[in-house]
Each structure stands twice: as C-alpha cells, then as structure tokens.
Structure 1
C-alpha cells in the first residue's frame, strides 16, 4: 500500500473504521439481551458467538474493495450463528449494508449471484436452527426464511437501483456539460465571425479606396489608411474582451462593472456622406506608439471587463460604413439605454452583420436602420435601397444570417431576412426584453430616442 493509494482512500478508510467500530459496539452491547425478546430455547451468546460477531463486523473494513467476497463471508458467518442456535440480532444489518455495496458497484449478473448466495446461506442457517430444535414451530421457520430473503435480496436490488440512478445522473451531467461546451463554442464562433467579418469588410473597402486614389489624392488615401488602422484596433479590442470573458467563465448577461470603462480608441464621428464619395473626417490624432499600445493592452488583461459592444456604439458603426461611401440613416425610439446586456449585444450584432452584408453584396444608394424599444421587446429593422433600383441580385444568406437567427431564438425572439418588393434587402428582428437581466452595453452619450 503506497502513499498515493493511502491519500486517495484515506477518507473511505476512516469512514469504514468508524462503521466497523459502530457495528462492533452494537453487536457486543446488545447481544446479552437478544434472547430476552425471543423464545427461550435459543442459545445464549458466549465467546464463540462474540468471535463470530467480531468477524462479521470486521468485514465492513474491506467491503468497498471486496464487496462480493465480504457478502459471501458475512452470509456464511450469519448462517453459522443461526445454525449454532444463537438468537436473531442486528448482525443481519451488516449483511444488508454489504448487499447495498454489491448491488451498487457490481454488474447485474454478479450482484444477482451474490444475492442468491447470501439468501441460500442465511436460509441454510435458519433450517439448521429449526431442525436442531432451537427454533420452535413453523412460524419461527417462516419468519427466519423471510428474513433470509429480506436481508439477502432486497439490499442488493436496492443497491443496483441506486447504482443505475447514479450512472444515469452522471451521464446526464456529462451530456449537460457537453452541451454547454458546444453552446460556448457556437457563441464564440458567432462573436468572432461578427467582429472579424465586419472589420475585414471595412478594411477591404478602405484598402481599395486607398489604392485607387493613392497617386491622385494622397490625403484621401491617408484617411482610408487611418480608418483601416482604427478598424483593426477596434476589432482587436472586441476580440480581447470576448476572450477575456471566456477565460474567466463569465456570462454575456452580467451587468456592467461599476468601474469606468477604459477609453476606446479614437473613432471617426458620424457625418453625412454623399454616395460614392466618403466624407472628410476630422484630423486624426497622432498614432499611438507600438510600445504604448502594447502596455495598454497588457493593462487591459488585468481588468475584469464586460462586453464593450452594444447599441451605444451605433454612431461609430455608422461612421465606419459612411466612410465607405454608403449613406446610413438610423432612427431609434424608446429607452435604448435600459436594455439588458444580452439584448443590447444581440441588437448591435444584428445591425452590424446587416451592414456587413450590405458592404459585401449590395450596390446600395442608402441604408435605413430603425430601432424601437418598448416595454416588452426591441424591434430592429435594417433595409437597403439598391442603386440603381431593382438591379441588385438576390444573395443567398450565409453563416452570418444563420448566426443572427440563432441569437434571436436564444433570447426567445425571431429574425426574418429577404428581398424587398421594390428591390434591396431587409432584415427584421424582434427580441423580447427580460427586465430581470442586468442592464449592459457601453456608456452612451445621448438619450434613448431620436435620429442618429
């Protein structure tokens, strides 16, 4: 017996020692009174009887490791006690406890064999006691044989049922854990798809603009390159926040931390944009040195961060799309600032992915966004008008729309997407609001309604 085995089984050893001591004390203290409540023909417990009782109690020490052998040995000793003429006593409880262990830890066929063996040995002792004259009358024999069945079969069957229930519960817990892991992977895949897909679409379009005007309008190329840099920083910021929450095992539904949210990287403010011509943004701040940026990111990893994404970042999202030459008009109504964190995140992702699809697939003259918050639900509608009208091909939905439908269904809502009657594409979602969820999302600069 090495030290590792002892450490692993010390708790069971201590428990079994206490159980053995309890049974020994019970047997020895109650043995002198067993014959008082039974027929006087039974034999008084003497030294031989106490030795047999001690052997039965000693079997409790190893019943976890050799349950079938202990059950057979204890049943044999009980049969010997009964056959020797000693009265019935609580030693049958020791057989019952061992029978529970056999039924719980052994296969059905092995447990059935153990139950049959125990019943036969105890019944043999009852018959020997009857034929030797210690048990008088058929009533005593019937009671003894009933006790053999009761203590030989019922505990094993009960232990088998307990074992099957534990196995079923362990399997159910394993399935639940596997489903949670799969759900978490799906959630992570959706988050990465939405963040990376949108950012790469913006970067691709801005890079095309920069290449097109690099020789003729270098100042416009610089604007596009700066937009690419800030889009990449924003994407990295969102990915770090998402991965930090995953590592910490936190939920997207938690409330916003009372600590102030770290300042976001500089973004372009939304401004009206003419079709096919990006607006001139304000002068960008000087780029952050790589060492300073790295130090900031390192500090961010030590902060317990909540998702920075929500409808409060809608103006920045609109500015990114407008810089690509697509006019966007957004109208919100209702208390947008009071949305729960999970609903706020889902609503923002629906708008973001819808705009990403516009950038990827549509020859669009304008995009309209409507967000309406009521007491029980939030409605999101994103529609684009083709340029020229009715010339836009219908694009089959990809993984992005599938992920958005899954987001809406997880919240108990629904999402529809399809072509409009006059051309273009429309995405509409209804998300129920559970006010028991904490309010989340980034800090907002304005009220809950109006045009953005």
Structure 2
C-alpha cells in the first residue's frame, strides 16, 4: 500500500524552495563553512536537498523531519557544509516543538540543552582550549535556541487558544442566561396576563350566557351591568400591563403590585359576579409584614381560585382561608365540586399551572384536587408560601 503524504502547506513550500535556491547560490559561489573534510563540496548538496524536502513535512510530520534532519546535519559535517542546510535544520527544530506533540514539545528543549552542555564540555576537555566553547555555542544556536523559541511560541498560541475558548464559553453562557431570562420573563408575563384578565373575562362569558339564555329583562339588565363592570376593570388591567411592557426606562416609577390588603375588594368583586364567598383571615395585626413576592403570589392564587370557582364550581359557598405560620403563609380555597347548574366558561388548565409555578418559585408547595368534607365533595387549592425565599424545607 502506497504511503499517503499530506499536501504541504504553501508557506512550507516557499521555505523549501527559497532555502534550496539560497543553498545553491552559496555552493555556486564556492563558499564553504568547513575546510579539509573527507567529502568534497558537491557532497554538501545531498544534505541540502534532504533538508529542503523535510521542510515540506515540518507541520505534518515534525518529529520524523527532526530525526532525519538531525542525521542529515551530522552527515553535512563530513562535507564542506552549507549555511542553508544549517538554517533549515534550525527551522525544523523550531517546527518540531511548535507543531509536535505536547510530550515532544516538553522533551526536545531539555534534550537539546543537555546536548549543548555535553558538546561544550566534551570539546573543551578534548581540545583543552577556550575556543572549544565556540563549538558549544554553535550547537546551542542550531538546536537549543530554536527549541526554546518554539516553546515560547507554542505557549503563546496555547494561551491564546485558551483565552479564545474561555471567551466562547462565556458568550455561550451569556446566551444561555439571556434565553433563560427571556423564557422566565415570558412565563411571568403570561401568568400576570392570565391572572389579571381571566377573572373578568370569565365573569363576562358566564353572565353573557345567562343573559342570552334567560328571557327575563331584569336578569338581562343585571347581567349587562356585571358585564360592563368587568369589561371596564379588565380593560384597565390590560392597559396597566401594556404600559409596563412598553415603558422599560429605569427611572419609571414601579407599578404597584396587588397585596393582601386588596383581598376585600377581590372578594367583593367575586360576590358581584355571583359567588358566595367568605374570607377567613386568621393573621394577627401584629404579624410581620410579608415580603412583596409572597403577598403577590397569595393574592394571585386566591384570584385564580375564585375565577376557577366562578367557571366550574357547583352552587354553594366558597371559602378563602389565610393563616400565618411561624415561617410560612398558607392559602386554602375550597369550593363545591360537581357539575355546575348554570352557565360555565371553558377552561384551559393554565390557571393551575400558573399557581403551581408561583408557589414553586418561592420554594413552597402546591396541592389541588377534589376532597371529601362534611358538606359534600369540595375542590381544594392549598399553597404553602415560605416567608423567607431561602427556606426550602418549611413545607416538608
């Protein structure tokens, strides 16, 4: 099977061709690096062409090029020598560190340093002349120097790659955070929109159905009054929400969020819509002020529970109970469970999902479903809202 060699890089081809031309010019001018060698000047062309061929493999086969290049440089010492051959060897040494394996990049500088020291001491002991140190200097220039330069370049490239990777990871994490923030904001606005408008629209749907179904002028008039009231209130809520969405300036006065102080008005509106609602608030006046997210969640849970009772509950009493525990606020809403006798509005299940999301965002627990009671079967909504958002175990 034929050996498949990779296509050399364009820069490597230019280095090889330029080195060969420079070496031929050096040889043609009769310049020699060494005198009185065993082989004549023409023999110096063999290492020259071998090293120029290895230049084509400096990126794809750096370690192979270094091993063969070292042998070619040793062979060049038995000829008159060529400066281009020595220069190409230094480039091959440099490329072996830059493009070689991490193990080779660590090993080559140490090896060339030891060789440089050994050659210097060996020739100094052999010649016993200070000029022998020059041989060690030349050895360091063509081996240890390029190797250490390659280490510096490789470390710089690896640091740049690491910095680029960190930048890409940071950008990716930022994009993920942005997507999560957008998703969370969309979910929050969906909950707010549903909780603010669904109650009014449900009342409008039920009373408009009653007005169309019953041929009674007084009933129709009462239904139209309720429809108008809920239409006006729903329109005001929509305008407030649209204002919040449009005005994103930082200096805007924050919109007032509903609190538990508004439960009285909420209960009154539910009674106007036809629900028989009672409020059992056992919180003492001296109880600590609840955090705004807790009050908002409790208000919205009561609001949505009343909307569901208006749409789905059987005739009977709806009870809203609030209790302040040492570390949590509990909300319990019960309504008669069964087939409603009057008109009803369709539901999508988004209300229960929104109540559960609000509770879980505060680290609380949420339960809903039918349950037996002395007064018959009832539908219960029960939420435990920790007063401290960091307290995740209060409901367990």
How would you bin the TM-score normalised by the shorter chain? 0.5 to 0.7
Compute the displacement of 1:210 (Å).
4.1
**Alpha-carbon distance in 1 for matches of 2:243, 2:370:** 38
Corresponding residue for residue 360 of structure 1: 311
Indicate how the Cα distance of structure 1 residues 322 and 185 shifts in structure 2: closer, same or farther if over 3 A, else same.
same
Contact 1:419 1:425 in 2 (8 A): yes
Corresponding residue for residue 190 of structure 1: 191
Query: Is 1:149 equivalent to 2:150 in the alignment?
Result: yes
**CA displacement 1:216-240 (0-9 Å, x = unmatched):** 42xx544433332222222232233
Normalised to the residue count of structure 1, the TM-score between the two structures is 0.50
Contact 1:385 1:424 in 2 (8 A): yes
**Alpha-carbon distance in 1 for matches of 2:282, 2:162:** 59
Compute the displacement of 1:308 (Å).
4.0
SS at match of 1:412: coil
Contact 1:194 1:353 in 2 (8 A): yes
The alignment's C-alpha RMSD in Å is 4.0
Indicate how the Cα distance of structure 1 residues 216 and 113 shifts in structure 2: closer, same or farther if over 3 A, else same.
farther
**1:407-426 to 2 correspondence within 5 Å?**
407-422=358-373, 423-426=377-380
Corresponding residue for residue 267 of structure 2: 318
**1:121-136 to 2 correspondence within 5 Å?**
136=137
Compute the displacement of 1:146 (Å).
4.2
Structure 1 residue aligned with 2:333, among 371, 382, 388? 382
Normalised to the residue count of structure 2, the TM-score between the two structures is 0.57
**Alpha-carbon distance in 2 for matches of 1:387, 1:413:** 28
Which has the larger Rg?
A: 2
Structure 1 residue aligned with 2:381, among 402, 427, 452? 427
**Alpha-carbon distance in 1 for matches of 2:389, 2:371:** 33
Indicate how the Cα distance of structure 1 residues 355 and 148 shifts in structure 2: closer, same or farther if over 3 A, else same.
same
**1:79-90 to 2 correspondence within 5 Å?**
none
**CA displacement 1:62-101 (0-9 Å, x = unmatched):** xxxxxxxxxxxxxxxxxx9xx99xxxxxxxxxxxxxxxxx
Contact 1:202 1:320 in 2 (8 A): no
Corresponding residue for residue 406 of structure 1: 357
Compute the displacement of 1:141 (Å).
6.2
Corresponding residue for residue 74 of structure 1: none
Compute the displacement of 1:352 (Å).
1.1
**Alpha-carbon distance in 2 for matches of 1:426, 1:133:** 96
**Alpha-carbon distance in 2 for matches of 1:333, 1:400:** 26
Compute the displacement of 1:140 (Å).
6.6
Compute the displacement of 1:401 (Å).
0.5
**1:135-174 to 2 correspondence within 5 Å?**
136=137, 143-174=144-175
**Alpha-carbon distance in 1 for matches of 2:351, 2:202:** 13
SS at match of 1:338: coil
**1:54-93 to 2 correspondence within 5 Å?**
none
**Alpha-carbon distance in 1 for matches of 2:339, 2:245:** 45
**Alpha-carbon distance in 2 for matches of 1:408, 1:176:** 22
Contact 1:116 1:152 in 2 (8 A): no
Task: Identify which of structures 1 and 2 has the higher relative contact order when contacts are C-alpha pairs closer than 8 Å and 6+ apart.
Answer: 1
Contact 2:312 2:339 in 1 (8 A): no
SS at match of 1:161: helix
Contact 2:363 2:389 in 1 (8 A): no
**CA displacement 1:4-23 (0-9 Å, x = unmatched):** xxxxxxxxxxxxxxxxxxxx
Contact 1:328 1:366 in 2 (8 A): yes
Corresponding residue for residue 234 of structure 2: 235
Corresponding residue for residue 199 of structure 1: 200
Contact 2:328 2:387 in 1 (8 A): yes
SS at match of 1:420: strand
**Alpha-carbon distance in 2 for matches of 1:164, 1:113:** 25
SS at match of 1:225: helix
**CA displacement 1:44-65 (0-9 Å, x = unmatched):** xxxxxxxxxxxxxxxxxxxxxx
**Alpha-carbon distance in 2 for matches of 1:356, 1:113:** 76
